[in-house]
């Protein structure tokens, strides 16, 4: 099911949560809503689910206007950060709930429901745990149950609100892969909210980046990382060293660094250089020089923390074989392979 | 290492002193008087005590007490559910004010509660003349007793449910609704099972107080024997007439009702952890 969000506005009291958000989600797509806390991403998800209603704008499922349709009538699957499993029901009862509450003709028979529950528990690899209660499961297992429960109604769209937020790092990683597998197996249009850029970039077909209730950029993970549309996206997605300065005649200049800035208008500007795009260079070809403070080899890279003469902190990451014998307190000349400059 | 004291554990002498103080206090203030009640009730033998609770006036008072509780408890269950639902699940202005208001019967003297109803519905009260014209009796009649009892007991269920519902939040309800459950279905399948133990606990406390209330009921009842006398009022009348066996016999019956309530409550607390799968 394609989902269209058209100029949606929503305020809580005087605080605007969504400022005219428009977004198209293609049928079968896996989309991440990425943003810092307070950016409106959860509100947007809840508006799509029908758990909140917008003041302005439209929500369309396919070509059907759902803006003010109740959540119960939308046939969405919703997964909460804190699982929200029904604590007094067994796992199987939880998964069956969406089918149990149907009435009359629409309600499947008991054996059909049992079969569907078994199938879903197998899909999320919890085949044996149908008789347990939520309190007897680990966090990761609970979230799998929540996922199976949301899928039971054959939702037109699956919505997940920070689904891995309450889990520890290892479980989070494996469940992430699981979600991708389940999405590919079911083909259901899926939207998930996260503040974790790594999660969004790894998992999603496309990422929509929100800031202060507005969408900053929508694109494939590599697009938003490599071609950020603005200073916010550049600073939020991926690591970056940030410099404040000014552009004059196509060159960016700050206290510490000079960078090319073709096509950027004269005036105040911010520049970003990613740690892995800083390379060691001879002094006459360097963009900046730093004094190293900490050298930390991490697998294939060596991470270097340092500071410029004006005291700005700089992070760099070199391939291990290029790093040579770095020592804390050494003076390094660095060149930026690539940089991003935006008018401030 | 097992003989090492935990940092927050008290030394043995302190435990002994504290436990002895608590024990002495409970025995002198609670247990001895309770024993006295049963002792005094059977001073002239068990048959006399049984006779005292079987005469017509006593039976009428028992009946009235049971009727009052039977009306009050369901009413306050409904009110408590509505109030706690509103407070836990909705955002609205004056919410702190409503929470304070629910506590009012706990902080105000029951006598004042009774007087409020006399002032409003009594013969000289605001609606007195109108009620008289339409031949409706509230004060010095059963409706007044019920009203006063409701007033005194309405915090019990609400107080029990509000923190429970607040702690549980609305996620489970939202999940149910998003799966297509109607409002009523959500309440019966999700909300009610989650609060059932708290609700039952509130009902027991509410019932105990409804049967035992004296002050508020005393003001509005008029003490008409066989008509508007509840058990606590009946005890007082008998006592003032120096019918000690009668007074203590009815009092013993009240005590038994209270003890049954407490035993039920204790059983509930025992049963609760097993039958509730626990929190997550």
Furthest CA-CA distance within chain A = 80
**B contact test, residue of A80, A83, A84, A154 with most B CBs within 10 A:** A84
* Helical residues (DSSP H) of chain B, grouped into ranges: 12-26, 32-41, 46-52, 56-89, 95-107, 110-121, 128-133, 142-153, 155-168, 171-178, 183-186, 192-212, 215-221, 231-240, 244-275
Report the pLDDT value the prediction gives residue B40, as an integer from 0 to 100.
Answer: 86
Residues of B in contact with A134 (CB under 8 A): 277, 280
User: What's the N-to-C CA distance of chain A in angstroms?
Assistant: 39
Residues of A with CB under 8 A from a CB of B: 49-51, 70-78, 80, 82-88, 97-98, 101-102, 133-136, 142, 146, 149-150, 152-153
Kindly report the nearest CA distance between residue B153 and chain A, in angstroms: 29
Residues of A in contact with B277 (CB under 8 A): 87-88, 133-136
- pLDDT bucket at A188, cuts 50 / 70 / 90: very high
Banded model confidence at residue B7, pLDDT cuts 50, 70, 90: confident
pLDDT digits (tens, 9 = 90+) for B126-158: 887 887 788 778 778 888 889 899 999 989 999
pLDDT attached to residue B4 = 66
Q: What is the pLDDT of residues B36-46, one digit of tens each?
A: 888 888 888 88
User: In this predicted structure, what is the pLDDT of residue A95?
Assistant: 95
Contact A292, A304 (CB under 8 A): yes
Q: Name every residue whose Cβ is closer than 8 Å to that of residue A220 and which is 6 or more positions away in sequence.
A: A205, A206, A207
DSSP label of A257: -
Measured in angstroms, the CA of A103 and the nearest CA of chain B are apart by 10
- Kindly indicate the confidence band of residue B275, based on its pLDDT and cuts at 50, 70 and 90: very low
Give the pLDDT confidence score for residue B273 in this predicted structure: 52
pLDDT tens digits, one per residue of A310-342: 889 999 998 888 777 788 888 989 999 999 999
Is the pLDDT confidence value at B278 over 70?
no
Q: CA-CA distance, A109 to A104, in Å (whole number)?
A: 10
Inter-chain CB proximity A133 and B277 less than 8 Å: yes
User: Residue B126 and residue B103: Cα distance in Å, rounded?
Assistant: 26
Nearest CA in chain B to A82: B171
Pair of tokens at residue A89: 């029901």
Closest residue in chain A to residue B177, using alpha carbons only:
A72
Closest Cα in chain B to A50: B178
Q: What pTM value is reported for the model?
A: 0.79
Residue A233 has pLDDT above 90, yes or no: yes
Q: Which member of B175, B182, B280 has the closest CB to residue A142?
A: B280
Q: What is the pLDDT of residue A24?
A: 95
Q: For residue A42, what pLDDT is reported?
A: 93
Q: How many beta-carbon pairs below 8 A join chains A and B? A: 83
Across the interface, of B172, B177, B279, the residue whose CB is closest to A72 is B177
Across the interface, do A101 and B180 touch by the CB < 8 Å criterion? yes
Asked if the Cβ–Cβ distance from A77 to B185 is below 8 Å, we say: no
* Confidence band for A67, pLDDT divided at 50, 70 and 90: very high
User: Which among B177, B193, B279 has the least Cβ separation from residue A71?
Assistant: B177
Average pLDDT over residues B50-68: 87
Composition of chain A by helix, strand, coil, percent to 5: 30, 35, 35
pLDDT category of residue A61 using cuts at 50, 70 and 90: very high
Roughly what angle, to the nearest 10 degrees, separates helices A110-123 and A91-100? 130
The reported pLDDT for the residue numbered B274 is 42
Q: B174–A71: do the CB atoms touch at under 8 Å?
A: yes
pLDDT per residue as tens digits for the range B75-130: 999 999 999 988 888 888 888 888 888 888 888 888 888 888 888 887 777 887 88
Nearest CB to A134 within list B185, B194, B280? B280
Q: Tell if the CB–CB gap between A78 and B180 is shorter than 8 Å.
A: no
Sequence-separated (6 or more) residues with CB below 8 Å from residue A136: B277
Contact: A72, B178; criterion CB under 8 Å: yes
The share of chain B scoring above pLDDT 70, in percent, equals: 95
> What is the pLDDT at residue B280?
38
pLDDT of residue B3: 61
At A141-171, the pLDDT tens digits run: 999 999 999 999 999 999 999 999 888 888 8
Residue B71 pLDDT greater than 70, yes or no: yes
Contacts A102 to B, Cβ<8 Å? 180
Contacts of A50 in chain B (CB under 8 A): 178
pLDDT at B143: 86
B contact test, residue of A52, A72, A153 with most B CBs within 10 A:
A72
Percent of chain B with pLDDT over 90: 20
For the ranges B24-33, B116-125, B147-156, B201-210, the lowest mean pLDDT is seen at B116-125
> Is A85 in contact with B280 (Cβ distance < 8 A)?
yes
Cβ-defined contact of A97 to B181 (cutoff 8 Å): yes
Q: Answer yes or no: do B172 and A87 touch at CB < 8 A.
A: yes
Q: Which residue of A has its CA nearest to B179?
A: A98
So what's the pLDDT on residue B272?
A: 62
Q: Is it the case that residue A183 has pLDDT exceeding 70?
A: yes
Question: Per-residue pLDDT averaged across A294-316, rounded?
Answer: 90
Which chain B residues touch A if contact means CB-CB below 8 Å?
A: 171-172, 174-182, 185, 189-190, 193-194, 276-280
- Is residue A290 a contact partner of residue A334, using CB atoms and an 8 Å limit? yes
Say if the Cβ atoms of A101 and B181 lie within 8 Å.
yes
* pLDDT value of position A33: 96
What is the spatial distance between Cα A47 and Cα A74, in angstroms, rounded to a whole number? Answer: 12
């Amino acid at each position: 099911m394609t989902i269209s969000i058209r100029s949606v506005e929503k305020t809580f009291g005087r605080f605007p949560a969504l400022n005219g958000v428009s977004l198209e989600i293609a049928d079968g797509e896996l989309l991440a809503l990425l943003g810092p806390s307070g950016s409106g991403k959860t509100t947007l998800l809840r508006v799509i689910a029908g758990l909140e209603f917008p003041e302005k704008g439209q929500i369309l499922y396919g070509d059907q206007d759902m803006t003010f349709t109740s959540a119960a009538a939308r046939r969405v699957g919703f997964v909460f950060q804190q699982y929200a499993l029904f604590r007094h029901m067994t796992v199987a009862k939880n998964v069956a709930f969406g089918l149990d509450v149907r009435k009359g003709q629409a309600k499947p028979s008991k054996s059909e429901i049992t079969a569907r529950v078994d199938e879903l528990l197998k899909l999320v690899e919890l085949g044996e745990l149908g008789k347990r209660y939520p309190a007897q499961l680990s966090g990761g297992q609970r979230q799998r149950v929540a996922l199976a429960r949301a899928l039971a109604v054959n939702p037109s769209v699956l919505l997940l609100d920070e689904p891995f937020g309450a889990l520890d790092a290892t479980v989070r990683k494996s469940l992430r892969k699981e979600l991708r597998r389940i999405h590919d197996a079911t083909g259901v249009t899926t939207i998930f909210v996260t503040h974790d850029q790594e999660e969004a970039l790894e998992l999603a077909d496309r990422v929509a980046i929100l800031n202060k209730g507005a969408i900053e950029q929508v694109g494939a993970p590599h697009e938003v990382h490599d071609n950020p549309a603005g200073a916010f996206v550049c600073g939020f997605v991926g690591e970056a060293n940030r410099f404040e300065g000014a552009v004059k005649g196509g060159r960016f200049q700050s206290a510490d660094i000079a960078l090319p800035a073709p096509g950027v208008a004269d005036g105040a500007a911010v520049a970003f250089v990613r740690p892995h795009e800083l390379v060691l260079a001879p002094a006459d070809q360097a963009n900046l020089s730093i004094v190293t403070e900490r050298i930390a080899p991490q697998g294939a890279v060596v991470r270097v923390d340092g500071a410029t003469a004006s005291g700005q902190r700089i992070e760099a990451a070199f391939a291990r074989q290029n790093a040579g014998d770095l020592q804390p307190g050494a003076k390094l000349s660095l060149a930026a392979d690539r940089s991003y400059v935006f008018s401030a | 290492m097992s003989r090492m004291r935990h940092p927050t554990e008290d030394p043995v002498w302190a435990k002994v002193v504290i436990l002895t103080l608590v024990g002495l206090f409970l025995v002198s203030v609670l247990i001895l008087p309770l024993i006295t009640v049963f002792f005094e009730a059977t001073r002239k033998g068990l048959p006399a005590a049984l006779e005292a609770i079987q005469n017509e006036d006593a039976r009428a008072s028992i009946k009235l007490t049971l009727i009052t509780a039977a009306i009050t408890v369901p009413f306050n269950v409904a009110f408590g559910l509505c109030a706690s639902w509103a407070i836990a699940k909705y955002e609205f202005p004056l919410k702190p004010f409503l929470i304070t208001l629910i506590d009012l019967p706990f902080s105000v003297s029951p006598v004042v509660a009774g007087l409020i109803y006399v002032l409003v519905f009594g013969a000289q009260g605001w609606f007195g003349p109108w009620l008289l014209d339409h031949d409706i009796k509230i004060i010095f009649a059963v409706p007044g007793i019920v009203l006063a009892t409701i007033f005194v007991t309405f915090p019990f269920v609400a107080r029990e449910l509000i923190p429970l519902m607040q702690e549980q939040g609305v996620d489970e309800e939202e999940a149910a609704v998003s799966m297509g459950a109607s409002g009523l279905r959500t309440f019966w399948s999700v909300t009610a099972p989650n609060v059932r133990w708290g609700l039952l606990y509130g009902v027991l406390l509410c019932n105990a107080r409804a049967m035992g209330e004296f002050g508020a009921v005393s003001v509005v009842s008029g003490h008409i024997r066989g008509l508007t006398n509840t058990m606590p009022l009946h005890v007082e009348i008998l006592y003032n007439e120096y019918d000690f066996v009668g007074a203590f016999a009815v009092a013993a019956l009240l005590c038994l009702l209270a003890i049954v309530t407490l035993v039920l409550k204790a059983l509930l607390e025992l049963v609760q952890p097993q039958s509730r799968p626990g929190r997550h």
